Amino acid sequence: MQDAREILAQLAQDYSKKLAELEDLITKTASVSLVPQLQALGERSTGRFRSVQHSLLKMLTSEDRSNSDSILGATTALCVCFDEMHILLQVLLELYAKEKANNATH
């Protein structure tokens, strides 16, 4: 079983990788098709978050306490999904700020 530091280190690496991938997607995608792609990513992350959240709550309220590895895995998955949603929000806010600045100068 991984310890908390290993999990947090992996989450940080995954966060950096996903942020770089999203920034790359933005630079390579036409602005017209960018919003639907970001929406799809957001919906996927939110759906996965809700699914794992449901599973985790079921495990935590279960009488069977032998599933600590499953609980740890579900908790880690929640963290990953939350990071994905945070990255999308951060990128959307940056895009909005750029668009607003562009509109102000025109």
pLDDT digits (tens, 9 = 90+) for 6-22: 999 999 999 999 999 98
When comparing pLDDT for 91 and 67, which is higher? 91
Position 3 scores a pLDDT of 84
- Compute the half-sphere exposure of residue 64: CA atoms within 13 Å on the CB side of its CA: 9
Q: What percent of the chain has pLDDT over 70?
A: 99
Position 6 scores a pLDDT of 92
Average pLDDT (53-74) is 84
Interhelix angle 68-105/4-28, rounded to 10 degrees, is 30
Interhelix angle 31-61/68-105, rounded to 10 degrees, is 150
Average pLDDT (39-63) is 88
What confidence tens digit (pLDDT) does each residue in 83-97 have? 999 999 988 888 888
